[in-house]
Amino acid sequence: MLTRKEIAEIETEFSRYEQKQAVGVEALKIVQRHRGWVSDETLQATAEFLDMTPDELDGVATFYNHIFRKPVGRHVILICDSVTCWIMGYEDMIQHLRKRLEIDFGETTPDGRFTLLPHVCLGCCDHAPAMMIDDDLYQDLDLEKIDRILGAYE
């Protein structure tokens, strides 16, 4: 079941598109914002609300990198692994993150604080290496800077 708030937010999107189904991606982002991720039940409820089959909407959900179909931690680390960051020290950064958080890609720390994911070019190659945590962008990374940044997230 979608909450009233979720429904209200999804409904404001309808007027922006010619067809209801076009709201799919935005609807998934809305429910994910409220619930952290998109479970099978949430997907089904959202699909029903948009007059789509669950498979149809899942085809959309699984297509995109920012829709999470598995539970994630309170914060999601997206580390850029594209060409410039790779040249500028990505491998040292990711080794450090793995060691510090004791998790690999796609995993969440036991305390539920961080999920670690690789990410395509973040579009700030003049300040590589870079990563995002939730909506915050961090550039010109080095190992000490990563430690400081992680410390700011609960």
Partner 1 sequence: MKCPLTEHIRPGEAPLALEAYEKKGGYSAARKAVGKMAPEQITSMVTDSHLRGRGGAGFPTGQKWSFVPMEKEVHRRKYLVVNADEMEPATFKDRLLLEGNPHQLIEGILLSAYAVQADIAYIFLRRAYVTAAQRLAQAIAEAYDSSYLGSNILGSGFNLELHLHSSAGRYICGEETALLNALEGRRATPRSKPPFPPVVGLWGKPTVTNNVETICNIPHIVNHGADWFRRLSRTPNGGTKIYGVSGRVKRPGAWELPMGTTIREIFEERAGGMQEGYRFRGLLPGGGSTDFLIKEHLDVQMDFDTVQKAGSRMGTGTMVILDDHTCPVGLVLNLIRFFAQESCGWCTPCREGLSWMARILSAIEAGQGESADLEKLQRHTGLLGMGNTYCAHAPGAMEPLQSALKYFKEDFNRHIQEKRCPWR
Point out which residues bind partner 1 (CB under 8 A): 16-19, 21-26, 28-29, 59-60, 63-67, 78, 81-84, 86-88, 119-128, 132, 135, 137
Q: Is 135 left (phi over 0), alpha (psi -120 to 50) or beta?
A: alpha
Closest CB 33 distance from partner 1, rounded Å: 12
Choice between 111 and 152, CB closer to partner 1: 152
Query: Looking only at Cα atoms, what is the longest distance across the chain?
Result: 50
Choice between 84 and 109, CB closer to partner 1: 84
Residues 6+ apart with CB under 8 A from 74: 36, 112, 113, 114, 153, 154
Choice between 106 and 123, CB closer to partner 1: 123
List, in sequence order, every residue forming a beta bridge with 71; answer none if it has no partner.
none
Choice between 7 and 100, CB closer to partner 1: 7
Q: Which long-range contacts (CB under 8 A, 24 or more apart) does 2-9 make?
A: 2/31, 2/42, 2/45, 2/46, 2/49, 3/34, 5/34, 6/30, 6/31, 6/34, 7/49
Choice between 84 and 100, CB closer to partner 1: 84
Closest CB 51 distance from partner 1, rounded Å: 11
Closest CB 1 distance from partner 1, rounded Å: 22
Closest CB 66 distance from partner 1, rounded Å: 4
Closest CB 67 distance from partner 1, rounded Å: 5
